Amino acid sequence: MPEKLAPLAAPSLARAYYAASIDAFLADSDDAILGKLAASSSFAIEPTQRDAWMLQIATMRTALLQRRGEGLIAFEFAIPRMGKRIDVVLVRGAAVYVLEFKVGERHFTADALNQVWDYALDMKNFHSTSRDATIVPVLVATAAEICELPTIVASDHDGVVRPLRATAKSLAALLCIVEECCTGTTIDAPRWVDGTYRPTPTIIEAALALYGGHRVEDISRREAEAINLTQTTAQIAEIVRAARAERQKAICFVTGVPGAGKTLVGLDIATKHHDKANELHSVFLSGNGPLVRVLCEALARDRAARSQPSGNRVKLGEARSEVRAFIQNVHHFRDECLRDWTKPPIEHVVLFDEAQRAWNEEQTAAFMQRKKGHANFAMSEPAFLISCLDRHPDWAVVVCLVGGGQEINTGEAGIGEWLKAIRANFPHWHVHLSPHLSDSEYAAGDALGLLDGHARVRTHESLHLSVSMRSFRAENVSAWVKAVLDIEREAAARAFASIRDRYPVVLTRDLTKAKAWLRGRARGNERFGMVVSSQAQRLKPHAIDVRTDIDPVHWFLHPREDVRSSYYLEDAATEFDVQGLELDWVCVVWDGDYRYSPSGWQYWSFKGSRWQRIKKDDRKAFLKNAYRVLLTRARQGMVVVVPDGDPADATRMPEIYDSTFDYLQGIGLPVLA
């Protein structure tokens, strides 16, 4: 009915190609619906797509013919976080149905079932007015002849039903069964329409969405996060604009709490300006090799896949070349600048992720002499990188994305090295600072004094990201991990009490139980994996050998059936493999390198056939930060394994592990039964 159409014009359903009340949908002609679908598409409509839509329309008409009345239907409902669209969303009774059609398919494949399950989980977790509803994922294989219907429909703890199967002919009967089982409060359709979509993407999902043309606000979970991210990107954009207009050189430092989206800010700018012909051409640089490899491969595969419907097919090799132009390993960028000491890079805007991890002068000089043949190289990595941009005769901007407590490698200089370089060699550069750069975790407090008297320093509150968005289940995970590692028992217990209901963390001494817990928790394509410290040398009896390198592309991107993927739980990743990336569920296996004792943490390294104490403060900090990285990789929850040890093995005596297990149990972690 016409009066029921008005609420569907709300912004939340602007993401659907076609949306209407059930009665209006049944009254609309096929041509009218098809016309709206075609008009909303950004691609030329191929005959196969037109036929698929016609079959979906016909199937839904048949299924809803006896179900007139309250409710609504939407076709091609966008999921920005995943860069995809749900074929049909149906809101009726107490349920939200998420329907994925496989036109012409005779079988209900595992991949397709996981796909529709993912869509349902996304709806439950990130659509505000779907959180209290029962979400029903349905896979419709239109050419399947037989499909056994369930006698009862039950949902998981959060109200998401395990994926259901239907044929084009049996969908009506399935809807009837679901309605009989879902007897909760009827969903108010106009109110549901007013709900907002507030996603929390992984860094891979965020990169895909930004590269696909979505705005950073579209993939932010809450208004506060969207504002925070938008203000930061706007401030950087203004710094770039001013530098270009006034022919200046500028450097800015962006800080943020763990998981707040610093990398997201950098990717947002880089993806907006990845056209080499544009004067604002930008490049995103990172010294994190696994992160660069995983992002580049994910973007390239997505680029190649998205090009197919448009008719302008891009080969995977071409897509990889495109992506590498604006996401690069910082060392490759450095090597290019070494080839000609006078020529500026093609980019005027360079973004350095985890800038505090750049090398100091000693480490850089040693590398240059050993690997590049430069015997008298006398600059730190920050000084050299700024000098490369300083070659531009007109303007340039360097954006340093600064993390705290993330240094895990020898020779990483910290942010102070950048400030020293500015003071010593680049007094003409304009400096824009986050006011939080002086906070203890950034280790720049003393170094900031080097900028005293610098005439071109400004501070901007908007250059700090204050809200963590890594875990959509609990914002206090980082605070809990910090308290655990700082042995602040009361603070750790309080923080854990605040997260445990939505973000489960369990403790066990049995790796087999831990793996079963992960597999039982993960739904759809939620990714899980096993992580360990790079110093965890005595986990080999548990078939974990940190000396065996993993391929992060296989580990993070490949499917369940691939033995090299994280899903298989055979290969454990270290802090070097996972820093900057995330999984939904994580198994942290804790070795004897980092041991709790009543006098504080003890730091050990396994050399030859025995453990040796670590005495250097910087190496202690690296090990502590390694466990900080491992304990903050999970978006939805984790299981921590502290092995029993073996009294017959002097390198794995029970007392090496017992105190750590007792400490973690003592601050509230429940032991897995």
Q: Report the C-alpha gap between 166 and 138 in whole angstroms.
A: 7
Return the SS3 of 353.
strand
- H or E element in which residue 19 lies: strand 16-21
Provide the sign of the torsion angle of the four alpha carbons 629, 633, 639, 643, taken in this order: negative
pLDDT over 90 at 121, yes or no: yes
Tens digits of residue pLDDT in 412-452 = 667 888 988 998 899 999 999 998 887 766 666 666 777 87
pLDDT above 70 as % of the chain: 90
Kindly report the average pLDDT of the chain as a whole number.
88
474 band by pLDDT with thresholds 50, 70 and 90: low
Alpha carbon separation from 427 to 351, 419, 424, 445 (Å, rounded): 20, 11, 7, 20
pLDDT over 70 at 355, yes or no: yes
Instruction: Tell me, rounded to whole angstroms, the distance of Cα 230 from its chain centroid.
Output: 18
What DSSP letter does each residue of 451-491 carry, written as one string? GTT-TTEEE-GGGEE-S--S-SS-TTHHHHHHHHHTT-HHH
What are the chain's domains?
Answer: 2-193 (no CATH), 203-465 (3.40.50), 477-666 (3.40.50)
Q: Report the C-alpha gap between 299 and 241 in whole angstroms.
A: 28
Tens digits of residue pLDDT in 548-588 = 999 999 999 999 999 999 999 999 999 999 988 999 999 99
411 band by pLDDT with thresholds 50, 70 and 90: low
Q: Report the C-alpha gap between 65 and 552 in whole angstroms.
A: 50
Please report, as a single letter, which amino acid is at residue 70: E
Please report, as a single letter, which amino acid is at residue 30: D
Tens digits of residue pLDDT in 282-320 = 999 998 899 999 999 999 998 898 887 666 789 999 999
Read off the pTM: 0.85
313-336 mean pLDDT = 90
Residue 230 or 42, more confident:
230
Alpha carbon separation from 121 to 83, 107, 131 (Å, rounded): 15, 23, 10
Query: What pLDDT shows up at residue 663?
Result: 97
Number of residues written out for the chain: 673
Pairing mode, strands 457-459 and 430-433: parallel
Min mean pLDDT across 274-283, 375-384, 451-460, 619-628 is at 274-283
Q: With contact defined as beta carbons under 8 Å apart, do 514 and 520 qualify? A: no
The set of long-range contacts for 336-341, using a CB threshold of 8 Å and a minimum separation of 24, is 337/384, 337/385, 337/388, 338/372, 338/374
pLDDT over 60 at 60, yes or no: yes
Q: With contact defined as beta carbons under 8 Å apart, do 350 and 399 qualify? A: yes
Min mean pLDDT across 47-51, 227-231, 403-407, 413-417 is at 403-407
Cβ neighbours of residue 37 closer than 8 Å, sequence gap 6 or more: 17, 18, 53, 75, 76
CB half-sphere exposure, 649, CA atoms < 13 A: 17
pLDDT above 90 as % of the chain: 62
CB half-sphere exposure, 614, CA atoms < 13 A: 20
* Best mean pLDDT range from 303-312, 360-369, 618-627: 618-627
Query: What pLDDT shows up at residue 444?
Result: 64
What DSSP letter does each residue of 112-136 carry, written as one string? HHHHHHHHHHHHHHHBGGGTTSEEE
Instruction: Tell me, rounded to whole angstroms, the distance of Cα 361 from its chain centroid.
Output: 33
Query: What pLDDT shows up at residue 309?
Result: 66
Query: What pLDDT shows up at residue 473?
Result: 66
Please report, as a single letter, which amino acid is at residue 187: I
Residue 223 or 610, more confident:
610
Query: What pLDDT shows up at residue 1?
Result: 31
pLDDT over 70 at 6, yes or no: no
For residue 497, report the phi and psi dihedrals to the nearest 5 degrees: -60, -30
Min mean pLDDT across 185-189, 407-411, 531-535 is at 407-411
What DSSP letter does each residue of 355-394 carry, written as one string? GGGSB-HHHHHHHIIIII--TT----HHHHHHHHHHT-SS
Q: With contact defined as beta carbons under 8 Å apart, do 449 and 393 qualify? A: no
Residue 147 or 669, more confident:
669
Residue 432 or 126, more confident:
432
Retrieve residue 16's tokens: 């659907």
Query: What pLDDT shows up at residue 445?
Result: 61
150-164 mean pLDDT = 91
Pairing mode, strands 72-79 and 84-92: antiparallel
Please report, as a single letter, which amino acid is at residue 334: R
pLDDT over 60 at 2, yes or no: no
101-110 mean pLDDT = 95
Retrieve residue 394's tokens: 């007109």
Tens digits of residue pLDDT in 452-468 = 777 789 999 999 987 66
Instruction: Tell me, rounded to whole angstroms, the distance of Cα 366 from its chain centroid.
Output: 35
Q: Report the C-alpha gap between 269 and 271 in whole angstroms.
A: 6
Tens digits of residue pLDDT in 267-277 = 988 888 776 66
Tens digits of residue pLDDT in 197-222 = 877 788 898 888 888 777 776 666 55
Q: Report the C-alpha gap between 124 and 159 in whole angstroms.
A: 8
**End-to-end Cα, the chain, rounded Å:** 55
pLDDT over 50 at 526, yes or no: yes
